Amino acid sequence: MFKGILISKENGVYQAQLQSIDDAVLPEGDVTVRVEWSTLNYKDGLAITGKSPVVRRFPMVPGIDFAGTVIESSSPAWQEGDRVVLNGWGVGETHCGGLAEVARVKGEWLVPLPKSFTACQAMAIGTAGYTAMLCVLALEKHGIKPADGEILVTGANGGVGSVAIALLAKLGYTTVASTGRPAEAEHLKELGASSVIDRNELSAPGKPIGKERWAGVIDTVGSHTLANACATTRYRGAVAACGLAGGMDFPATVAPFILRGVTLYGIDSVMAPLAVRQEAWERLGRDLEIARLDAITREIGLSEAIAVAAELLEGKVRGRVVVDVSR
């Protein structure tokens, strides 16, 4: 038996509870990990509250991220005592996840915990920070340099946005943060944003194409925000889209793509190949300042995760939430 959050759905009643879980609930896998830290992402909030059909199997342990120590392995890649991190792969949706003391997964889903981070710091990064790094890598590989102009980051107070701003600032980019919480402007500037705009400038229906402004964009919102970001991106600029907090729709035209040569990159963190994951984590170890990470991190116990998941969906959470599964 081990402690964790278990989501059940019986007779149409959806429920998430902190409880003792039998080992028999764990799915098949060749590596068993003693989880030390997990985190709360937007998807975890949807899973725990049942606001969206994220969970595909029941019962389910939520948590799309975890960091911990291997306690049993039949995988040639991992041995007892190895320190590991997991992001994505359907964990917390179709395969029991990290908001529990124990997880059993496929060895090929794991990456080594970078020596530059503790397990807690790795979860402060989590899927949100790893996704932010994938977005930055997409802009870099497109050829966008700091001298090319402003980079827009939408949903800037969220996990992806916060880490993206910190990364871009370290790399020398001029970053404009878009947020619905203007009171957080100073916090965003402390993270490295050069300026802050109200999300309302981008969230309403806009023109098919607008005045050129952004050399690049990291968008976590989708819907009209993404459409307007594309419409105002400079000639041969790029937009990295990784979120849908504002909706899954994309009410845009092809004008920015065929008149300005704008490129729209879709950023997938769930099924990204191992080599891509390793590159992202290697760069995070090099380019993310721990002090900036600490400034956007809130630590909670597993017993608080269900309540904080609801706060996350209500937009009341700044930055990253890490979960100590031992308390």
Mean pLDDT value across the chain: 95
Least reliable range by pLDDT among 134-138, 210-214, 294-298? 294-298
From 218, 244, 266, give the residue that closes a domain: 266
**What pLDDT is attached to residue 158?**
87
Query: Which residue, among 28, 1, 38, has the nearest Cα to 104 in the 3D structure?
Result: 28
| Mean pLDDT, residues 173-195 taken together | 94
Q: What is the DSSP letter of 172?
A: T
**C-beta of residue 63 within 8 angstroms of C-beta of residue 49:** no
- The answer, yes or no, to whether residue 280 has pLDDT greater than 90, is yes
109 and 193 fall within a common domain: no
**What pLDDT is attached to residue 318?**
79
63 and 142 fall within a common domain: no
pLDDT tens digits along 99-119: 999 999 999 999 999 888 999
User: The pTM is what?
Assistant: 0.88
Domain count, the chain: 2
Element (DSSP H or E) covering residue 9: strand 2-10
| Mean pLDDT, residues 82-88 taken together | 96
Q: Return the HEC string of 130-167.
A: HHHHHHHHHHHHHCCCHHHCCEEECCCCCHHHHHHHHH
**What pLDDT is attached to residue 142?**
98
- The answer, yes or no, to whether residue 31 has pLDDT greater than 90, is yes
User: Is 281 domain-assigned?
Assistant: no
| Band of pLDDT at residue 24, cut at 50, 70 and 90 | very high
172 and 247 fall within a common domain: yes
41 and 67 fall within a common domain: yes
Q: Which residues pair with 35 in a beta bridge?
A: 68
From 266, 285, 313, give the residue that closes a domain: 266
Secondary structure (3-state) at 302: helix
Residues spanned by the domain of 156: 128-266
**C-beta of residue 214 within 8 angstroms of C-beta of residue 151:** yes
**What pLDDT is attached to residue 295?**
81
